[in-house]
Structure 1
Amino acid sequence: MVTTRRTQQERRAQAEAALLDAAAELVVQHGVRSLTLARVGEQAGYSRGIVTHHFGSKQALLERLARATQAGFVPGLADLPPGLDRLLRLIDGYIGALGDVGMMNRAFLLLWAEAATASELAPIFRERDEAFRSDLRSDVAAGITDGDVRPDVEPGDVAIAVVGQLRGIGLQRLLDPHTVDTARLRHTVTDYWRRALRVP
């Protein structure tokens, strides 16, 4: 029987993934204010020392968690050029993904909502939201250049409205999942933006 030993890099990546999963679980169960390095280590089956070793501080852990929870929420967009099609696929995929919100995605939405009142989260999520809006602005601007989006549309306004709508739908889905029919809603919202933006 042959066993393969994991490299130090693989062990480090596995430990960091387990710690981030544990942090997400704690956020969902108890909120960000109850999150400590010691509790994360305990939840993941490690010592507090390993959490400090990997992240250094609670703030650094929160920053990594914010990035990890948002990464890959809508797969398959990286290969698409900016434009109306990419924007509509993002909207459709985002709402579709809310139909089965995993622990990491739930943690992201809860952290995002708490960022309004938690000073340690506000800068992290301002940066994450600006990156999201920047992508959306690029899609709208490219759509205008391509002739697919009306030239009188303001890309920044659309970006703010789309982020607010998607995150708001996500929070409603967390609060009352039976009320938000994502399978139907994804088509309704995507069609709304298609009609609102497309050149007549």
Structure 2
Amino acid sequence: MTEAAVGLIVERGIAGTTLASIGERSGYSRGLVTHRFGSKAGLLAHVHDSVAAQWLEHVERWVDGASGIAALQRVADALYDFIVHEPEELRAMYLLRYASIDPSAEYRANVAKLNAAHIRALSGWIEEGQAQGEIAAQIDPRLAAELFASVVDGLLYRWLVSPEIPIEALHQLLREHLESSLQAEAEA
């Protein structure tokens, strides 16, 4: 059902996706979909959380124990890889994430929880880089994490609206910017 929901959200949008259409596409009745998720809001929260979990596993595989600048660059690499290999899932997750700014979005807390987890992980990698002397000590890890997450969100927004943007070149530029903006100055 999750796969059917992802496909429909990407094709029809959130408003155009119904429990009945998800049931039909997945070969189940609307009643079964309703029984499993309770409501459309419950289904949307499930889709967001399922794809977000897939995204987090993807990032963990790419980061693979790295810290500091290398960890952040690997997050950028994971993002680029997800865009190339899992575009439907990423589109669905970000459509849901952006729709969560609506005060009536019942899954808003799910998105906020994921955002907080992202910032904790990014801040941790930055702090590790500072402890190793790789990242400048004067950088506030939380602010740098928030900025990185904002750049990623903005990049994904632009890609969703204009898929023809030079995503590969932007990915490379992001990697380079991470190094040049965070790197501690070498001692003389």
TM-score range, shorter chain: 0.7 to 0.9
Q: Give aligned-pair identity as a percent.
A: 25
In structure 1, C-alpha distance between the alignment counterparts of 2:31 and 2:136, rounded to whole Å: 55
| Residue 57 (str. 1) matches residue 39 (str. 2) | yes
Question: Aligned match of 1:115 in 80, 100, 104?
Answer: 100
- Whether contact under 8 Å (2:67, 2:128) holds in the other structure is yes
Structure 2 match to 1:146: 132
- Which stretches of structure 1, 4 residues or longer, exceed 6 Å deviation after superposition? none
Tell me the TM-score normalised to structure 2 length: 0.86
Aligned pairs, number = 181
Quick check: 155-164 or 69-78, which moved more?
69-78
1:101: Cα distance to partner? Answer: 4.9
Q: Once superposed, what is the RMSD of the aligned Cα atoms?
A: 2.0
In structure 1, C-alpha distance between the alignment counterparts of 2:9 and 2:35, rounded to whole Å: 21
Tell me the TM-score normalised to structure 1 length: 0.81
Structure 1 residue ranges without an equivalent (≥5): 1-18
1:113: Cα distance to partner? Answer: 1.1
Structure 2 residue ranges without an equivalent (≥5): none
Structure 1 match to 2:76: 91
1:109: Cα distance to partner? Answer: 1.1
| Residue 176 (str. 1) matches residue 162 (str. 2) | yes
Question: Aligned match of 1:37 in 19, 34, 58?
Answer: 19
1:94: Cα distance to partner? Answer: 1.0
Question: Aligned match of 1:135 in 113, 116, 121?
Answer: 121
Q: Deviations over 1:34-66 (max 9, x none)?
A: 443323212212112322343333333222211
Question: Aligned match of 2:48 in 66, 82, 86?
Answer: 66
Q: Deviations over 1:85-116 (max 9, x none)?
A: 11111123313432455211110111111111
